[in-house]
Amino acid sequence: VLFESSLKGLEAWRRVVDNRVHEILQKNNIEIYKESQLTSLHINELGIKNIFLATGSKWRKDGIGRSRRGPIIGIESVEVFTPEEIIQEEQNIKDSIIVYDDEQGYLAGVLADHLSEKGVDVIFITPASVVSPWTESTLEQKRVQKSLISSGVKIVCNNLIEKIENQIAYLECVFTGASTQISCQSIVMVTERIPNTSLYEQLINQKPNKKTQPAAINIQLIGDAEAPGLIADAVFAGHLAAQNFETAETDIQKALFMREMPSLK
């Protein structure tokens, strides 16, 4: 949330954090430990039976996304940034940069607009037929694409990056297979996120130790650590986990199918 709310036009999203921090500070049964990276050893020492892991996710840098399930050949020959990394380095970008969107959500379009406003020469490439097609669901797609065009961002749709060689990106049309070339010194990959599950895997794979572990332990991944999605999805996942906490499995299953039954009586 902190990262995305720092981008152009998304400042209001900061309220997601502000609201929850305010709510937590009102409660005296919640303890907060900031800047504390937990390991499986720390968790075992705490002796807590119920553990919810919201360890988030990280962006891929190999080009795997919706349109291809293998890495882009030669991607290691150029400088590759994740969305978070490019914002940290935005003041140091001197040459033109490619924003490659194969996630096809909203973030790549926002990033391209943000970087363009900072004076960066941006080329937006996507296998989709329009910029940020997911935003059609929120009636924002035309506004997003109009903003990029007005900002001077070069937009290349219907093309995926097949390979990169000698700082040249070889594009392939998703319809005809026709190949085009474009200069590529550096690239921002907005393609797919990988859940951060290393701590979860350590906990579920460790051998039981009666001295350091409680008798029964419930470990659950939530949010982006379970399935990367929108901020709203992460908020919902946390709320759902709290609702289902210590609830019988049969009741959880019943709740999945609950609906209003209108009656004319």
Token pair recorded at residue 142:
């035309």
Residue 64's closest CA among 102, 112, 97? 102
Percent of the chain at pLDDT exceeding 90 = 65
Contact between 51 and 39 (Cβ < 8 Å)? no
d(CA 129, CA 104): 10
Structural domain 59-193, CATH architecture: 3-Layer(bba) Sandwich (3.50)
Flag the least confident range among 5-19, 133-147, 230-244: 5-19
Same fold, 4-57+195-245 and 59-193: no
Is 90 exceeded by the pLDDT of residue 248?
A: no
Is 90 exceeded by the pLDDT of residue 265?
A: no
Superfamily of domain 4-57+195-245: NAD(P)-binding Rossmann-like Domain (3.40.50.720)
Confidence of residue 89 (pLDDT cuts 50, 70, 90): confident
Is 90 exceeded by the pLDDT of residue 120?
A: yes
Confidence of residue 10 (pLDDT cuts 50, 70, 90): confident
The DSSP symbol for 56 reads -
Per-residue pLDDT at 252? 84
Percent of the chain at pLDDT exceeding 70 = 96
Count Cβ atoms within 10 A of the Cβ of residue 148 and give its class: 0-12 exposed, 13-18 middle, 19 or more buried.
buried
Tens-place pLDDT, residues 180-208: 999 999 999 999 999 999 999 999 888 76
Is 80 exceeded by the pLDDT of residue 214?
A: no
Token pair recorded at residue 148:
């990029």
Tens-place pLDDT, residues 66-75: 999 999 999 9
Domain locations in the chain as residue ranges: 4-57+195-245, 59-193
Q: What is the mean pLDDT of residues 80-96?
A: 90
d(CA 175, CA 11): 38
Average pLDDT over the chain, rounded to whole? 91
Handedness of CA 109, 110, 116, 122 (dihedral sign): negative
Per-residue pLDDT at 106? 94
Q: What is the mean pLDDT of residues 4-26?
A: 88
Q: What is the mean pLDDT of residues 121-146?
A: 96
